[in-house]
């Protein structure tokens, strides 16, 4: 197999990094006082303050002007659709360069299947309806949220309680969604609800997706969920009280919503794995540089075998995860079956990042516990990645089922 990355993909990644250094970093520096503390980044209710939201919008729209914001979006929607190999390469390059945190970079410069840009889920929207929204979404002016999970229905989607009932040419949606990224700020929501309770009980369908304007009557985000180590977040609880949606705003066929949703979920898992590999590379570089400079007992700690073993273990982990991810991305681009492989990549890359961040903090000793070097923030991010888009345990369940059914042959 040829694992070399096409030059044009590397060139796009390099151009993205130059954009970050040339235009985004100066904005961050100019607003250092605002961005240096979570007490100023977030308002009292845990939402991003207006100034931060305005900066994020500016960078989103500039990224869209330069073409980065649509790199991985489907061609049928007007995106570049560079493919999975390009997506993981560019995600990895970006995160290896900028590291963790960076409220103005990670969530806004590249498309996301859940929050930013031309989500693959939108390909299931009626074309004439999609065209009415396309420009605002593609330009970065408007953003999205993906409302699938609920308080009692995370990994078990069929446990959802949100209902959509027909009312003439419309649907009325009622229920509660939880853990919804970007929901406190989104202009539009991709909402999934039960339309056939009997089918849903049989786990054979019965769930339908809808494209909803978040300004619609009955749509509210009553609370932001603060996550580990943060005073706020972009994650919220969504309540829907008889929210009226026209039938032409359905996402795909009635009752087939999960097949629509999985387009976004699988894309998100591969992209997340690319982020993890990039952040692990960033952390290892910090540890290598520190180990060469920090001295104990008259010599750099890099000469101590205990440190060398930790560095070597990091390299082993990163190489294995990156190789697995490249193979999976190649399979995606070749249109081969990948459900089991995507689960393996998601589980292995997120667990790998946890191990690498932990070791790199250990190499730094006391300095690793401060956030001066951002390793502590990277560790908190790494821990959180083992849960969204399906926990490690859910991924193992999928892998085992694919093995037992004969779909995944090792």
> What pLDDT is stored for residue 26 in this prediction?
95
Residue 2 lies in a domain: no
Residue-number span of the structural domain to which 102 is assigned: 7-121+131-138
- Are residues 163 and 108 located together in one domain of the fold? no
Residues paired with 193 in a beta bridge? 208
Residue 100 lies in a domain: yes
- Are residues 157 and 85 located together in one domain of the fold? no
- Are residues 32 and 88 located together in one domain of the fold? yes
- Are residues 242 and 355 located together in one domain of the fold? no
The answer, yes or no, to whether residue 154 has pLDDT greater than 90, is no
Q: Can you tell me the distance from the alpha carbon of 57 to that of 103, in angstroms, rounded to the nearest whole number?
A: 12
Residue 332 lies in a domain: yes
Domain boundary among 220, 239, 256: 256
Q: Can you tell me the distance from the alpha carbon of 258 to that of 169, in angstroms, rounded to the nearest whole number?
A: 22
- Are residues 187 and 272 located together in one domain of the fold? no
- Are residues 97 and 30 located together in one domain of the fold? yes
The answer, yes or no, to whether residue 104 has pLDDT greater than 80, is no
> What pLDDT is stored for residue 371 in this prediction?
84
- Are residues 171 and 277 located together in one domain of the fold? no
Residue 1 lies in a domain: no
Domain boundary among 256, 277, 299: 256
The answer, yes or no, to whether residue 300 has pLDDT greater than 90, is yes
* CATH number of the domain where residue 252 is located: 2.40.110.10
> What pLDDT is stored for residue 105 in this prediction?
78
- Are residues 41 and 165 located together in one domain of the fold? no
Q: Closest Cα partner for 386 from 337, 410, 352, 357?
A: 352
Residue 385 lies in a domain: yes
- Are residues 228 and 268 located together in one domain of the fold? no
- Are residues 381 and 322 located together in one domain of the fold? yes
The model's confidence at residue 315, banded by pLDDT at 50, 70 and 90, is very high
> What pLDDT is stored for residue 267 in this prediction?
81
- Are residues 243 and 278 located together in one domain of the fold? no
The model's confidence at residue 264, banded by pLDDT at 50, 70 and 90, is confident
- Are residues 267 and 400 located together in one domain of the fold? yes
The model's confidence at residue 82, banded by pLDDT at 50, 70 and 90, is very high
Domain boundary among 91, 106, 138: 138
The answer, yes or no, to whether residue 107 has pLDDT greater than 80, is no
Structural domain total, the chain: 3
**Rg of the chain taking only CA atoms, in angstroms:** 22
More reliable by pLDDT, 106 or 43? 43
* CATH number of the domain where residue 284 is located: 1.20.140.10
Residue 150 lies in a domain: yes
> What pLDDT is stored for residue 310 in this prediction?
98
């Amino acid at each position: 197999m040829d694992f070399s990355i096409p030059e044009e993909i590397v060139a796009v990644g390099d151009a993205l990094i130059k954009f970050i250094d040339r235009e985004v970093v100066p904005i961050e520096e100019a607003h250092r006082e605002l961005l240096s503390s979570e007490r100023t980044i977030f308002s009292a209710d845990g939402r991003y303050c207006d100034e931060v939201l305005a900066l994020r919008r500016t960078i989103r729209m500039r990224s869209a002007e330069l073409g980065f914001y649509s790199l991985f979006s489907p061609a049928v929607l007007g995106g570049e659709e560079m493919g999975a190999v390009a997506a993981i390469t560019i995600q990895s390059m970006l995160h290896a360069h900028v590291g963790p945190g960076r409220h103005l970079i990670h969530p806004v410069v590249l498309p996301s299947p859940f929050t930013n840009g031309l989500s693959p889920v939108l390909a299931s929207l009626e074309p004439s309806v999609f065209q009415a929204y396309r420009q605002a979404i593609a330009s970065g002016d408007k953003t999205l949220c993906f409302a699938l999970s609920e308080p009692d229905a995370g990994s078990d989607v069929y446990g959802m309680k949100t209902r959509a009932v027909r009312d003439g040419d419309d649907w009325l949606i009622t229920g509660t969604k939880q853990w919804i990224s970007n929901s406190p700020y989104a202009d539009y929501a991709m909402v999934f609800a039960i339309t056939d309770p009997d089918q849903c009980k049989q786990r054979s369908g019965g769930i339908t997706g809808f494209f909803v304007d978040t300004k619609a009557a009955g749509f509210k985000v009553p609370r932001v969920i603060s996550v580990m180590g943060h005073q706020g977040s972009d994650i919220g609880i969504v309540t829907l009280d008889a929210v009226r949606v026209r039938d032409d705003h359905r996402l795909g066929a009635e009752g087939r919503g999960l097949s629509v949703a999985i387009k976004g979920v699988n894309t998100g898992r591969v992209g997340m794995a690319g982020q993890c590999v990039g952040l692990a590379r960033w952390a290892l570089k910090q540890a290598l540089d520190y180990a060469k400079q920090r001295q104990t007992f008259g010599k750099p700690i890099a000469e101590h075998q205990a440190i060398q073993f930790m560095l070597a273990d990091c390299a082993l982990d990163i190489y294995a995860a990156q190789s697995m991810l490249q193979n999976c991305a190649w399979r995606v681009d070749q249109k081969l079956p990948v459900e089991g492989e995507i689960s393996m990549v998601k589980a292995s890359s997120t667990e790998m990042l946890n191990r690498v961040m932990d070791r790199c903090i250990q190499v730094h000793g006391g300095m690793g516990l401060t956030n001066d070097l951002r390793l502590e923030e990277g560790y908190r991010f790494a821990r959180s990645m083992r849960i969204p888009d399906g926990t490690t345990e859910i991924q193992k369940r999928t892998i085992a089922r694919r093995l037992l059914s004969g779909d995944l042959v090792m």
